[in-house]
Chains A and B, each alone.
Chain A
Amino acid sequence: MAQDIDFDIGGRVRETLARVFQLSAAEAGDLRMGLHPLWNSMGHMQLIVELEKEFGLRFPTYEIAELLSTEAIIKAVERYRQK
């Protein structure tokens, strides 16, 4: 069970998004930068910091501009956790 929770990357990404942008987890399900007023360039950097804290990883500089949707973030977190 603990393992399931630990590897529920999608759920944790949505929770982080919801926390940073003050949304419900359902609202954070399919979000894109620019669709929510708080997810602008400043909010994006705040989100990156929170995601890195949450997953204990560090995104490379070139990846930061690619993490523009919930889906893209989940895929990137999965990729960097495997490395």
Chain B
Amino acid sequence: MQFLRNSLLTIDLSLLIAVLVCIAASALVSLLPMLRSTYGLLIVSLLATAGIYRHGMLGYLFINLVIYLFVAGLAWLPIGSRLLQRNRWRWCCAAMLALLAIFLAGRYYQLETRGVPLLGVKLFFYSLNMWAFLRLITLLWEFGSGRVERPSLLSYVIWIGLPFTLLGPILRYSQFEQQLPLICQSRKTENILSSQSTRRFLLGMAQLSLGLLLAGFQASLVDPGNGLPRWEKLAIGFSLAPWAFYLLWAGYFNFMEGLALFWGLNLPPSFNRPFGRRNLSEFWANWNMTATSVFRDYFFFNRWGLAKANLYINTLVVFLMVGVWHGLNGYWVLWGLLHGIGFCGYLWYRANKSRFAIWRHRVLDAPFRFAGPIATYVYVCSCWFLPPTILKLMR
């Protein structure tokens, strides 16, 4: 059973640790009612952060503390008048840009791997992964816009240390703040017996297992020893790899949603059957939704100071940002560009739909129903597979 061995080999160790830590955190709070208080949740969250971040914990806490001090400092300025509200917003925009610069510099110079020796111990003062970065951006945005007030230090630390969101999905502070009192009030049996949490948990488990099996199966098929022709490898890549990737991540997020429900915490959904959607817009509206909604709300719904938004520019900015958020390298920049170009094409088609109406009705009416989902699937997969080839051609 080569593919079972390959499945086990595809398991990401840090993800496995995160899953185990989250199971422990969920079980602890569910079984020990005394932990169902802000201080109890604080202890569990800090322990979970230490378990997941390990040597990066110090850097993670340091960056989050700096942002907290910034927010707390700004909160001293009253926002009664419109001018002061605007100033708060401007300061938060500056902080978001600074955080983006720090995030990109951290990626470029790989600061997470650079420790500072101190008294014989290597200390890591920088740890800002993609999820922590996006989470802090949402806080600065929500605070700057006046949607949330200065968080208390206690609830802030629980929020940044929530085990179920440390490696995604995104739970905005405004969404967390309103649930915190409910977590402390809810009874353990209510959550343990909740069919919703069990269903989500089992669904996540099933998706994760299936994703692992598919990834292992694909790895064994495309093994160099098999000597498969290039087109067969490509066909396997198009048919198995996207599903394995989707099932792994959808499974992980569903798993986290289920575990969080045992606390009585509702995480927003992340995936809603993205494959089979009729166009790129629908695909992105159902893929990694907690993260894509942040990019949509902050970058797409934006005029960049102009009188009227240019949706084509916004689209390219959004997808370039999403690409860079994944990784600061040629692959992800190209991936973002390809998605941006595809989405702009869809926007143009949508704006000029009437021109295609007769042609569409006469020629493609029935097949169009199938052509849309197939074209979307192929385009999304191509965006994953094409960048290495394009980069090779560019060299």
**Chain A positions near chain B (C-beta within 8 angstroms):** 40-42, 44-45, 48-49, 60-66, 83
Contacts and interface: CB of A to CB of B under 8 A. Distances in A.
B309 interface: yes
Contacts of A63: 145
Contact of A49 (B82, B89, B141, B308): B308
A63 B281 CA distance: 22
Contact of A45 (B141, B144, B309, B350): B309
Contacts of A41: 281, 285, 296, 300-301
Given A41-B296, A45-B309, A45-B311, A62 B285 contact: no
Contacts of A60: 89, 145
Interface residues of B, number: 21
Interface string B216-234: 0000000000000000000
Interface in B61-97: 82, 89
18 contacts: A41-B300, A42-B281, A42-B311, A45-B300, A45-B301, A45-B309, A45-B314, A48-B309, A49-B309, A60-B145, A61-B303, A62-B144, A62-B147, A63-B145, A64-B301, A65-B296, A66-B145, A66-B147
Nearest to B93: A61
Interface of B: 82, 89, 141, 144-145, 147, 281, 285, 296-298, 300-303, 308-309, 311, 314, 347, 350
Nearest to B145: A62
Contacts of B285: 40-41
Nearest to A37: B282
Helix, strand, loop or mixed for chain B's interface?
A: helix
A42 B300 CA distance: 9
A48 B300 CA distance: 13
A5 to B, nearest CB: 27
Contact of A65 (B144, B298, B308): B298
A42 B373 CA distance: 20
A48 B308 CA distance: 10
B89 A42 contact: no
B301 A83 contact: no
Contacts of A62: 89, 141, 144-145, 147
A61 B311 contact: no
Contacts of A65: 296-298, 301
